[in-house]
Structures are given as C-alpha cells and as structure tokens.
Chains A and B, each alone.
Chain A
Amino acid sequence: DIQLTQSPSFLSASVGDRVTITCRASQGISSYLAWYQQKPGKAPKLLIYAASTLQSGVPSRFSGSGSGTEFTLTISSLQPEDFATYYCQQYNSYPRSFGQGTKVEIK
C-alpha cells in the first residue's frame, strides 16, 4: 500500500504569505495526485488533480507541482478564506490513500 506523508502537519501564516505544503509518497505514483481543501464541518473541495492541473473555479493563487514521489501545493498569496486543512490523495493504485493533512492557521 502507498503511504502519503505531508509536511508540515501544522502551519501558521499571515495573509499575503506564500505557503508551500509537501506530500511525499512511499513509492512512485507518477502524477496521480490530487489536493483538497477542507473547512470545519464541510466536505472536502478538490483544488488540483494530476499533480498540477487546477480544478475549474479554483483561484490561480493555488498551484501544484511534482511527480514520482514528491509533490508540492503552493498558495502564492494566502487569503483569509484559505485558512483550512489541506490533504493530498494518491490514485495511482488501490487502496487509494490520503495524507494526514496540513492545517493552515492564522498567525
């Protein structure tokens, strides 16, 4: 089974900051990686799929990169509505798996 490890698990940042979250896979997954945003009490929202493709309607300040075993989600300029928990997910093989999450809080 493929394990995903996100770092950091917790991040404190200010509005306007550039934020980067890393997701490492225990084995190569090509570009079969998605990123989601989740706010308390809400369903997850797809941000990026295929490692770097922005989902329709998602602001361009979000970007994704990477392939193989190392991936990043970058928020170029953090906005108040971006404070949330972010998860990566691999769909290279079954069982699919998620990272443990990265909580982004206001500094």
Chain B
Amino acid sequence: ELQLVESGGGLVQPGGSLRLSCAASGFTFTRNSMTWVRQAPGKGLEWVATVNQDGSNKYYLDSVKGRFTVSRDNSKNSLYLQMSSLRAEDSAVYYCGRDRYGSCDYWGQGTLVTVSS
C-alpha cells in the first residue's frame, strides 16, 4: 500500500527553525518528483516546493525562497523540508505529495507547524 507519512511539526518561536520529514513507502520513490503543500488554519491550499526525482532541480514559492530548503534522500525513501527564519504566516499544516506529472496523486496526513512566541 502506498503511504506518505509526515513528521517533525511542532511549536517554534518566530525566527526559529524546523525540519519536516516525509517517509514514503509502497512505490518506487525514485520515479517521482515530490511536493510540499501547506494549509494555514481555515485557509486554502498553498504550493510550497517541489523537488525532482534525483534532487537536482528544486522549485519554491517566492515567500519561502532563501528560508526553506527541499531535499530528498532516495536511499531512505524520504523527503525533507528544512525551514528557517520562520514567521507567524508560515503556521500551517504541511502536506507532502507524490508528484504525478504536476498534480499530486497521493498525499500524507499532514504535520502541523505553529510559529508563535
């Protein structure tokens, strides 16, 4: 069964850092790009970042460029999002998704990030 399981969310102070992980199973991880999407409480979906199959190409939302880094470890079937200089407006549920030619056909359950003092 295909599964994506996010972890690493939590409460962090403004200006702090956090690393999210997404463990993938049930498919050949190296065949797909992977994507992070977030959703602030009561708000809509917002695309955050995408990394291609071998990690050589990365794409970011303008508001997170220079603060967030997406990466993957294909030997561990894992996707990561390193977040730094966090702001209150980064508070959201963060989902990882398997990228299928641009749409996400499988999603994790999400991990909540709260940026607050």
Where the two chains meet, the residues of A that have a C-beta atom closer than 8 Å to any C-beta of B are 1, 32, 34, 36, 38, 43-46, 49-50, 55, 87, 89, 91, 94-101
Which residues of the partner chain A approach B62 to less than 8 Å between Cβ atoms? 1, 95
Q: Give Cα A1–Cα B47 distance, bound, in whole angstroms.
A: 13
What are 8 A-B residue pairs whose CB atoms fall within 8 Å in the complex? A1-B62, A32-B102, A45-B107, A89-B103, A91-B101, A94-B59, A95-B61, A98-B45
Which residues of the partner chain B approach A44 to less than 8 Å between Cβ atoms? 37, 45, 95, 104, 107
- For the A-B complex, the count of residue pairs with Cβ-Cβ distances under 8 Å equals 59
Where the two chains meet, the residues of B that have a C-beta atom closer than 8 Å to any C-beta of A are 35, 37, 44-47, 50, 59-62, 95, 100-105, 107-110
Q: Give Cα A22–Cα B69 distance, bound, in whole angstroms.
A: 34
Which of A55, A94, A95, A97 is the one whose CB lies under 8 Å from B105? A55
Which of A46, A49, A95, A101 is the one whose CB lies under 8 Å from B45? A101
Min CB distance, A88 to chain B, in Å? 10
Q: Give Cα A36–Cα B97 distance, bound, in whole angstroms.
A: 13
Which of A34, A55, A100 is the one whose CB lies under 8 Å from B102? A34
Give 4 A-B pairs besides A43-B109, A89-B47, A91-B102 with Cβ atoms closer than 8 angstroms.
A44-B45, A44-B95, A49-B100, A89-B103
Return the chain B residue nearest A49 by Cβ.
B103
